[in-house]
């Protein structure tokens, strides 16, 4: 069974603007690989960070240095007129699997509501570029995008929550779940089950969060549910993040585990790790 983390961050300079991340000025590919080897993680998908202006290049260098261990989701500037043309050739970059956007705060959230970024969805659909979004307050709008663009593969970040951008824990952090589960009717929407321990005020194996993982599994199924960590925010080790799923979720079959722990995300984002 391959273990593929659906979301990590690497950076070479600057302190994380999200204070839930470890407050260090770099987290390198070498550090990540050492931790992955220790924890039993085969591969990870890098999401460039906003606080390091060279984060995209950091990710590309990691991909080149460790073939088959890293891939990435990047981004093009949403308000740049030239970005539409870049989407068409986005997947030509080695190891680049798609795009990812944080649409939690204004002006980005308002761009979504006002239709200012409506150009993005058909451009990505036509080019076959998957998109991941962190958009807790706008899942109804993401549902509309999914319906209008059925060939666009969308992924909702961090169980639909805010990814550590709040101090709320356990049940108080999961009040958005009905909105997330409603998206399951769209076959082109998947969920990253990333960062579950970070939402919990409990200790391992984080029983309250297991309830919400079961709800996501029942709604989306194992083909559209992707394990991952956002490891630099986790209150536990990479190994604990793995065994929370592989040993503590008794309702997962072995086939389910193979999908959720790596096979499904590679299929959804088109990552051939052998290629």
Q: What does the pLDDT look like over 61-77, one tens digit per residue?
A: 999 999 999 999 999 99
Residues 6+ apart with CB under 8 A from 166: 173
Q: Is residue 114 part of a domain?
A: yes
> Is 240 within a domain?
yes
Domain that holds residue 210: 4-269
Query: For 9-60, what is each residue's pLDDT tens digit?
Result: 999 999 998 888 889 999 999 999 999 999 999 999 999 999 999 999 999 9
Residues sharing a CB contact under 8 Å with residue 65, sequence separation 6 or more, in sequence order: 29
**Is 274 within the bounds of a domain?**
no
Residue 67 inside a domain? The answer is yes
Residue of 203, 194, 192, 193 lying closest to 235 (CA atoms) = 203
- CATH of residue 179's domain is 3.20.20.140
Per-residue pLDDT tens over the stretch 106-149: 999 999 999 999 999 999 999 999 999 999 999 999 999 999 99
Ramachandran class of 146: left when φ > 0, alpha when ψ lies in -120 to 50, beta otherwise = alpha
Residue 239 lies in a domain: yes
Quick check: is 167 in a domain? Answer: yes
3-state SS, residue 37 = helix
Number of domains in the chain: 1
What is the model's pTM?
0.96
Report the C-alpha gap between 1 and 257 in whole angstroms. 8
Joined tokens for residue 77? 């500037």
């Amino acid at each position: 069974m391959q273990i593929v983390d659906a979301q990590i961050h690497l950076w070479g300079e600057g302190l994380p603007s999200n204070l839930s991340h470890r407050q260090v000025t770099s987290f390198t590919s070498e550090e990540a690989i050492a931790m992955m080897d220790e924890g039993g993680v085969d591969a990870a998908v890098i999401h460039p960070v906003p606080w390091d202006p060279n984060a995209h290049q950091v990710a590309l260098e990691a991909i080149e240095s460790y073939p088959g261990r890293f891939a990435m989701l990047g981004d093009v500037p949403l308000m740049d007129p030239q970005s539409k043309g870049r989407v068409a050739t986005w997947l030509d970059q080695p190891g680049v699997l798609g795009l990812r956007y944080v649409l939690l705060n204004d002006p980005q959230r308002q761009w979504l509501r006002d239709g200012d970024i409506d150009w993005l969805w058909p451009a990505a659909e036509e080019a076959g570029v998957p998109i991941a979004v962190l958009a807790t307050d706008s899942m109804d709008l993401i549902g509309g995008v999914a319906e209008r663009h059925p060939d666009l593969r969308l992924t909702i970040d961090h169980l639909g929550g805010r990814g550590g951008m709040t101090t709320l824990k356990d049940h108080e952090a999961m009040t958005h779940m009905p909105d997330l589960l409603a998206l399951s009717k769209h076959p082109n929407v998947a969920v990253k089950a990333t960062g579950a321990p970070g939402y919990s005020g409990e200790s391992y194996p984080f029983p309250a969060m297991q309830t919400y993982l079961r709800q996501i599994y029942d709604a989306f199924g194992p083909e559209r549910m992707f394990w991952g960590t956002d490891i630099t925010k986790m209150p536990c080790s990479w190994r604990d993040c793995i065994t929370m799923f592989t040993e503590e979720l008794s309702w997962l079959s072995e086939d389910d585990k193979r999908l959720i722990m790596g096979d499904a995300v590679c299929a959804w984002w088109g990552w051939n790790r052998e290629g």
